[in-house]
Protein backbone atom coordinates (compact mmCIF):
# COMPACT_ATOMS: atom_id res chain seq x y z
CA UNK A 1 0.00 0.00 0.00
CA UNK A 2 2.88 2.32 0.78
CA UNK A 3 4.13 1.95 -2.83
CA UNK A 4 0.73 2.97 -4.22
CA UNK A 5 0.50 6.11 -2.09
CA UNK A 6 4.08 7.08 -2.98
CA UNK A 7 3.21 6.59 -6.66
CA UNK A 8 0.08 8.76 -6.32
CA UNK A 9 2.07 11.50 -4.56
CA UNK A 10 4.66 11.46 -7.33
CA UNK A 11 1.98 11.60 -10.03
CA UNK A 12 0.26 14.49 -8.23
CA UNK A 13 3.52 16.36 -7.85
CA UNK A 14 4.42 15.81 -11.50
CA UNK A 15 0.97 17.01 -12.56
CA UNK A 16 1.34 20.10 -10.41
CA UNK A 17 4.72 20.89 -11.93
CA UNK A 18 3.28 20.53 -15.41
CA UNK A 19 0.50 22.95 -14.56
CA UNK A 20 3.04 25.43 -13.22
CA UNK A 21 5.02 25.46 -16.47
CA UNK A 22 2.55 27.73 -18.29
CA UNK A 23 2.49 31.41 -17.39
CA UNK A 24 -0.54 32.27 -15.27
CA UNK A 25 -0.78 35.65 -17.01
CA UNK A 26 -1.16 34.07 -20.47
CA UNK A 27 -4.77 33.43 -21.48
CA UNK A 28 -5.44 30.10 -23.15
CA UNK A 29 -4.80 29.91 -26.88
CA UNK A 30 -8.20 30.21 -28.60
CA UNK A 31 -9.41 27.16 -30.53
CA UNK A 32 -10.31 29.33 -33.54
CA UNK A 33 -8.38 32.60 -33.27
CA UNK A 34 -9.39 35.41 -35.59
CA UNK A 35 -7.21 38.05 -37.17
CA UNK A 36 -9.17 40.99 -35.75
CA UNK A 37 -9.42 39.79 -32.15
CA UNK A 38 -6.38 37.60 -31.53
CA UNK A 39 -3.68 38.04 -34.19
CA UNK A 40 -3.81 41.70 -35.23
CA UNK A 41 -2.94 42.89 -31.69
CA UNK A 42 0.20 40.68 -31.77
CA UNK A 43 1.15 42.06 -35.19
CA UNK A 44 0.46 45.64 -33.97
CA UNK A 45 2.84 45.15 -31.04
CA UNK A 46 5.65 43.44 -32.97
CA UNK A 47 5.32 43.66 -36.75
CA UNK A 48 3.46 46.62 -38.17
CA UNK A 49 6.18 49.21 -37.52
CA UNK A 50 7.71 47.66 -40.67
CA UNK A 51 4.77 45.79 -42.19
CA UNK A 52 2.18 48.44 -42.91
CA UNK A 53 2.34 51.29 -40.42
CA UNK A 54 1.16 54.43 -42.17
CA UNK A 55 0.01 52.33 -45.13
CA UNK A 56 3.57 51.57 -46.25
CA UNK A 57 6.33 49.03 -45.81
CA UNK A 58 8.97 50.66 -43.65
CA UNK A 59 12.59 50.23 -42.71
CA UNK A 60 11.87 50.88 -39.05
CA UNK A 61 14.71 51.96 -36.80
CA UNK A 62 16.15 49.74 -34.10
CA UNK A 63 14.69 50.10 -30.59
CA UNK A 64 17.49 52.56 -29.71
CA UNK A 65 16.66 54.73 -32.75
CA UNK A 66 19.68 53.73 -34.83
CA UNK A 67 19.07 52.65 -38.46
CA UNK A 68 18.39 48.96 -38.97
CA UNK A 69 20.50 46.84 -41.27
CA UNK A 70 17.58 44.71 -42.47
CA UNK A 71 15.94 47.36 -44.64
CA UNK A 72 12.28 47.51 -45.51
CA UNK A 73 10.18 44.43 -46.23
CA UNK A 74 8.90 43.80 -49.73
CA UNK A 75 5.58 42.15 -48.82
CA UNK A 76 2.95 41.62 -46.10
CA UNK A 77 0.90 44.54 -44.84
CA UNK A 78 0.03 43.07 -41.46
CA UNK A 79 -2.22 45.98 -40.52
CA UNK A 80 -4.95 44.49 -42.71
CA UNK A 81 -6.46 41.08 -43.35
CA UNK A 82 -7.35 41.38 -47.05
CA UNK A 83 -5.24 42.49 -49.99
CA UNK A 84 -5.68 46.06 -51.23
CA UNK A 85 -5.09 47.54 -54.66
CA UNK A 86 -4.77 45.59 -57.90
CA UNK A 87 -3.23 42.22 -57.02
CA UNK A 88 -4.04 40.51 -60.30
CA UNK A 89 -1.09 39.03 -62.14
CA UNK A 90 -0.57 40.34 -65.67
CA UNK A 91 2.16 38.52 -67.56
CA UNK A 92 3.83 37.47 -64.30
CA UNK A 93 3.86 41.06 -62.99
CA UNK A 94 1.78 42.35 -60.10
CA UNK A 95 0.74 46.00 -60.04
CA UNK A 96 2.68 48.34 -57.78
CA UNK A 97 -0.66 49.23 -56.15
CA UNK A 98 -0.96 45.70 -54.72
CA UNK A 99 -0.67 45.46 -50.94
CA UNK A 100 -0.75 41.84 -49.77
CA UNK A 101 -2.59 41.49 -46.47
CA UNK A 102 -2.24 39.04 -43.61
CA UNK A 103 -4.55 36.45 -45.19
CA UNK A 104 -2.35 36.14 -48.27
CA UNK A 105 0.83 36.13 -46.20
CA UNK A 106 -0.62 33.52 -43.83
CA UNK A 107 -1.69 31.06 -46.52
CA UNK A 108 0.56 28.90 -48.61
CA UNK A 109 2.08 30.49 -51.69
CA UNK A 110 4.56 29.15 -54.17
CA UNK A 111 5.61 25.58 -54.82
CA UNK A 112 5.78 23.88 -52.41
CA UNK A 113 3.27 26.14 -50.64
CA UNK A 114 4.75 28.05 -47.73
CA UNK A 115 3.27 30.72 -45.52
CA UNK A 116 5.38 33.84 -45.17
CA UNK A 117 4.08 34.32 -41.64
CA UNK A 118 4.59 30.65 -40.73
CA UNK A 119 8.12 30.74 -42.07
CA UNK A 120 9.37 34.11 -40.82
CA UNK A 121 7.41 34.59 -37.59
CA UNK A 122 7.21 30.98 -36.40
CA UNK A 123 9.75 28.62 -37.99
CA UNK A 124 12.91 30.67 -38.43
CA UNK A 125 14.89 31.85 -35.41
CA UNK A 126 15.97 35.49 -35.47
CA UNK A 127 19.57 34.47 -36.24
CA UNK A 128 18.36 32.90 -39.50
CA UNK A 129 16.08 35.71 -40.70
CA UNK A 130 13.14 35.19 -38.37
CA UNK A 131 10.96 38.13 -37.51
CA UNK A 132 10.99 40.49 -35.83
CA UNK A 133 14.65 41.06 -36.64
CA UNK A 134 17.25 41.54 -33.96
CA UNK A 135 17.72 43.62 -31.87
CA UNK A 136 13.92 43.66 -31.43
CA UNK A 137 12.79 41.06 -28.89
CA UNK A 138 11.44 37.80 -30.34
CA UNK A 139 7.78 36.90 -30.25
CA UNK A 140 6.70 35.29 -26.99
CA UNK A 141 5.92 31.57 -27.10
CA UNK A 142 2.23 32.30 -26.37
CA UNK A 143 2.03 34.77 -29.28
CA UNK A 144 3.58 32.17 -31.60
CA UNK A 145 1.02 29.59 -30.46
CA UNK A 146 -1.85 31.99 -31.17
CA UNK A 147 -0.45 32.74 -34.65
CA UNK A 148 0.12 29.01 -35.35
CA UNK A 149 -3.48 28.25 -34.39
CA UNK A 150 -4.70 31.07 -36.65
CA UNK A 151 -2.62 29.81 -39.58
CA UNK A 152 -4.57 26.53 -39.45
CA UNK A 153 -7.69 28.50 -40.42
CA UNK A 154 -6.81 32.16 -41.08
CA UNK A 155 -10.20 33.76 -40.52
CA UNK A 156 -10.79 37.52 -40.40
Distance CA 111, CA 3 (A): 57
User: What is the pLDDT, as a whole number, of residue 110?
Assistant: 65
User: What is the pLDDT, as a whole number, of residue 111?
Assistant: 60
* pTM exceeding 0.85: no
Distance CA 127, CA 112 (A): 24
Cα–chain-centroid distance for residue 146?
8
Domain ranges of the chain: 29-152
Q: Which residues of the chain have pLDDT under 70?
A: 1-24, 110-113
User: What is the pLDDT, as a whole number, of residue 122?
Assistant: 95
Taking the CB of residue 55, how many other CB atoms lie within 10 A of it? 11
User: What is the pLDDT, as a whole number, of residue 54?
Assistant: 94
Each residue's pLDDT tens digit, 79-105: 999 999 999 888 888 899 999 999 999
User: What is the pLDDT, as a whole number, of residue 132?
Assistant: 95
Taking the CB of residue 52, how many other CB atoms lie within 10 A of it? 23
Q: By C-alpha distance, which of 114, 115, 98, 119 is closest to 106?
A: 115
User: What is the pLDDT, as a whole number, of residue 8?
Assistant: 34
Residues near 88 by beta carbon (within 8 Å), at least 6 away in sequence: 94, 95
Amino acid sequence: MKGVSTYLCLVSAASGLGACSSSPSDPPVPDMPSFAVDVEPIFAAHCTRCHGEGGTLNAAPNPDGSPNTVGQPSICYLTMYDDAGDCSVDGGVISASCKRGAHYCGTGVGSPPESYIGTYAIALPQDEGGMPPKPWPPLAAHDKEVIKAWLQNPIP
